[in-house]
């Protein structure tokens, strides 16, 4: 497992191409090209080094960044490619440097904020994937009444995540996944936990008795963590029941404008100004997107193979639908 203190994805990093000098001993020093810098580390490529092994510590000078003889610990060195990854031993100078780079990155495209760049790329790929993923996506808006917040359901024709429920008059039976059983008035503790960030992922489990097609709602603990699991496994083997499991994942709409929405809205602006303004205002009210994915085949296979997913009994009592 990777040491979290060395995980550079957790800190601000900047991409900048500039020359540096790496000093390995009192005599030997080599030229290099910097590619990645942060307040705790540095990545560069040695251009004229023929050594296969470097000492534990080196000193790095970067004239353009006014960094002189900064001591670094060698984390990794590839003698074939010359790629060198370093960890700073004195972070005070680098902290000031990163602050300067953060300001420079605002006005100079040559200095790139890699974390922001990667975040935007991930967001774009995530949105593109979700639009082609064969699972329903439920748009949620801000509001007080839980039921009124469930605004729009986008569902591809090939989606099977609603089974064993069926569409009726263009209405999706979402209560089969969210509603608490036997509550009056109707309530959904699962939906509340998802929207309040107490839970990001939830399993909605329904067991169908094939003799009379009666549905029994189960919690994750009842299905996988209790003594009932063996009875369900035996019933599955004898084809007496069907186990239908829907994975429900909640994502927060953190950014109002994303690369994809900006591109779509720009095209719409050329066609209809009024609709463009309405959509621009409407997207500000969307707070979450909930995805419903069919995990039945996967978790049925785990059940039959006696592989038990890790479930907590404490949270299972609150996970009933």
Query: What predicted TM-score, i.e. pTM, was given to this entire model?
Result: 0.54
User: What are the tens digits of pLDDT across the range 34-73?
Assistant: 877 777 778 888 887 777 778 888 888 887 777 777 788 8
Which of 133-142, 210-219, 310-319 is the least confident region? 310-319
Which residues touch 204 (CB under 8 Å, ≥6 apart)? 176, 177, 178, 190, 245, 246, 248, 321
More confident residue, 253 or 178: 178
- Banded model confidence at residue 284, pLDDT cuts 50, 70, 90: confident
Q: How far apart are CA 212 and CA 12, in angstroms?
A: 58
The Cβ-side half-sphere exposure at 289, using a 13 Å CA radius, reads 17
User: What are the tens digits of pLDDT across the range 181-213?
Assistant: 777 777 888 888 888 887 888 888 888 888 888
pLDDT at 51: 72
User: What are the tens digits of pLDDT across the range 265-281?
Assistant: 888 888 888 888 888 77
pLDDT at 63: 78
- Banded model confidence at residue 27, pLDDT cuts 50, 70, 90: confident
């Amino acid at each position: 497992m990777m040491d979290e203190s060395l995980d550079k994805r957790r800190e601000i990093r900047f991409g900048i191409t500039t020359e540096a000098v790496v000093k390995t001993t009192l005599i030997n020093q080599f030229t290099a090209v910097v590619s990645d810098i942060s307040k705790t580390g540095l990545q560069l490529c040695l251009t004229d080094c023929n050594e296969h092994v470097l000492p534990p510590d080196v000193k790095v000078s970067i004239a353009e960044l006014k960094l002189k003889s900064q001591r670094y610990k060698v984390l990794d060195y590839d003698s074939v490619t010359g790629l060198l990854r370093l960890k700073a031993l004195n972070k005070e100078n680098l902290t000031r440097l990163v602050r300067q780079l953060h300001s420079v990155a605002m006005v100079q495209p040559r200095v790139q904020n890699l974390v922001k760049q990667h975040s935007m790329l991930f967001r774009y790929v995530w949105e593109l994937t979700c639009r082609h993923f064969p699972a329903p996506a439920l748009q949620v808006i801000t509001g007080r009444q839980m039921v009124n917040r469930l605004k729009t359901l986008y569902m591809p024709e090939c989606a099977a995540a609603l089974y064993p429920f069926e569409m009726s008059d263009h209405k999706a039976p979402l209560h089969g996944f969210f509603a608490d059983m036997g509550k009056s008035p109707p309530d959904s503790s699962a939906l509340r936990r998802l929207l309040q960030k107490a839970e990001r992922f939830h399993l909605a489990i329904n067991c169908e008795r094939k003799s009379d097609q009666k549905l029994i709602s189960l919690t994750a603990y009842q299905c996988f963590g209790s003594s009932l699991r063996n009875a369900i496994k035996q019933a599955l083997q004898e084809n007496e029941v069907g186990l239908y499991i829907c994975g429900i994942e909640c994502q927060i709409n953190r950014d109002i404008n994303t690369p994809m929405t900006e591109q779509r809205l720009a095209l719409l602006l050329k066609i209809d100004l009024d609709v463009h303004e309405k959509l621009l205002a409407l997207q500000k009210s969307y707070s979450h997107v909930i995805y419903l994915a069919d995990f039945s085949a996967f978790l049925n296979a785990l059940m039959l193979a006696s592989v038990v997913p890790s479930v907590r009994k404490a949270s299972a009592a609150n996970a009933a639908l």
